[in-house]
Amino acid sequence: MNKTKVTKKTGKKILRFGVLVVLIVLLYVLGLAGLFSTNAMRILLNIALYVTLGTMWNLMSGFTGMTSLGQQAFIGIAGYTLCVITSTYNLPFWIGIVLGGLFSAILALLMSMVLFRMRGMYFAIATWVTAEALKTFFTSWKFVKMGAGMSVKARPYPGVSLIYVIALSLSIIAILVVYSLLKSKTGLGLNAMRDDADAASSVGVNIFRSRLLCFVVSGFFTGIAGAIFYLNRGSIFPSGGFGTEWTVAIVFIVIIGGIGTIEGPILGAIIYVALSEYLSKYPGYSMIILGFIAIVVIVALPYGIAGTIERKLNLTVFSTRRTLEG
């Protein structure tokens, strides 16, 4: 390999890394210094949460080939855990968030025992049915006040800037976890598995273990993001916490942004939150328009925005592709 070419490439990498670090530091500093308006903070907070949710769905569907339509199962479980911990047991909210993530991870573990026997569409259906079953169960479970919903109790209630910082940190950790997971040996196996599960299995990729790892990681982070969302929202109902709307949003974000890329969910989350903010002026039409956009993108841009840029301009910030020079 030509030496100057290598240094040029490394230089470009360092530049991109630098820009990224500056951006992240700015997002923290501006948030903590109170330079964002409450509204701006709320929007950025939502973007950060959707980045996490999208990244975790992408880990499953885009990199592992397990399309889940039931991520709301984790969001609802974690949201309810937060409410039960803070209002039934009067414990601090951060315990609720952590336990919410843990319960989601445990749910993922339990689901995997049944769901991992299925492939493709069956898996997608089963995740969705699980979420619907949980919604029905929570609607008639007395302990969580049935359909009446529950609220988060915290004294003093965390302000939006604190929740924003937590959400921002979560999204950065989520991206780093997925990125390093994909860069690891397990990641190579995951990609092989997505492209051809039988071939991957025959050359020694432990499909079950790799899938389980992704599913549990995805469940954990999706749960944490859900708990933070409901910490900001203040109350949860079975219809919302386990609502199909979550999957709609997540699928939209990853498809628009670009499935199977790290940048995709980030771009998609920004577009989704911006669009829903703009479309909130037209209640009723927003979901219809989002649905149309999603269909047009699936038909016209099969790789999403990030995927198309990557293919046309060969530009990536986080490349998970393996090249000879490393």
Partner 1 sequence: MAQQLINGILLGGVYALVGVGMTMIFGIVQLTNLAHGEFIILAAYLSSVISVGLGLSPLLTLIITVPLMFVIGYILQNVLINKLMERGSEPALLVTFGLSIIIQNALLLIFSADANRLIVSFQALSIPLGGMGRIPVLNLVVCLIGIATLFVLNLFLKKTYIGRSIRATSDDKVAAALMGVNVKQTYGIAMGLALATAAIAGTMVGMIYPFYPSTGSGYLIIAFGVVVIGGMGSITGTLVAGFIFGLAQVLGGSNYGLLIGYLVLIVMLAVRPQGLFAK
Q: Which residue, 126 or 167, has its beta carbon nearer to partner 1?
A: 126
111-115's contacts with Cβ under 8 Å and 24+ in sequence apart are 111/73, 111/215, 111/219, 112/211, 112/212, 112/215, 112/216
Least distance CB 244 / partner 1 (angstroms): 6
Q: Which residues of 34-43 are buried (b: 16+ CB within 10 A; e: fewer)?
A: eebeeeebbb
Please tell me the distance from the alpha carbon of residue 250 to that of residue 272, in angstroms, as a whole number.
9
Is 117 a residue that touches partner 1 (CB under 8 A)? yes
Map the footprint of partner 1 across residues 125-164, applying CB under 8 A: 125-126, 128-130, 132-133, 136-137, 140
Least distance CB 310 / partner 1 (angstroms): 18
With residue 226 as reference, give the H or E element that holds it.
Answer: helix 207-233
- Using CB under 8 A, pick the residue from 285, 311, 315, 322 that binds partner 1: 285
Least distance CB 259 / partner 1 (angstroms): 9
Least distance CB 65 / partner 1 (angstroms): 9
Task: Evaluate whether 170 touches 52 at the Cβ level (below 8 Å).
Answer: yes
Q: Which residue, 158 or 243, has its beta carbon nearer to partner 1?
A: 243
Nearest-CA neighbor of 74 among 110, 118, 44?
A: 110
Please tell me the distance from the alpha carbon of residue 63 to that of residue 261, in angstroms, as a whole number.
8
Nearest-CA neighbor of 55 among 172, 189, 202?
A: 172
Is 284 a residue that touches partner 1 (CB under 8 A)? yes
Nearest-CA neighbor of 62 among 217, 194, 199, 218?
A: 194
Is 300 a residue that touches partner 1 (CB under 8 A)? no
Stretch that binds partner 1, among 26-34, 154-162, 261-269, 284-292 (CB under 8 A): 284-292
Strand-pairing partners, residue 151, are 235
Is 299 a residue that touches partner 1 (CB under 8 A)? yes
Tokens of 213: 């790892």
- Using CB under 8 A, pick the residue from 24, 67, 98, 301 that binds partner 1: 67
Q: Which residue, 154 or 298, has its beta carbon nearer to partner 1?
A: 298
Please tell me the distance from the alpha carbon of residue 179 to that of residue 176, in angstroms, as a whole number.
5
Binding residue count for partner 1, defined by CB under 8 A: 36
Stretch that binds partner 1, among 93-101, 113-121, 202-210, 217-225 (CB under 8 A): 113-121
Stretch that binds partner 1, among 52-60, 149-157, 200-208, 288-296 (CB under 8 A): 288-296
Nearest-CA neighbor of 78 among 212, 248, 236?
A: 236
With residue 47 as reference, give the H or E element that holds it.
Answer: helix 38-64
Least distance CB 112 / partner 1 (angstroms): 11
Map the footprint of partner 1 across residues 191-250, applying CB under 8 A: 244, 248
- Where does residue 149 fall: left (phi above 0), alpha (psi -120 to 50 degrees), or beta otherwise? left
Least distance CB 72 / partner 1 (angstroms): 12
Least distance CB 94 / partner 1 (angstroms): 33
Interface residues toward partner 1, by CB under 8 A: 67, 69, 114-115, 117-118, 120-122, 124-126, 128-130, 132-133, 136-137, 140, 244, 248, 251, 255, 284-285, 287-288, 290-292, 294-295, 298-299, 302
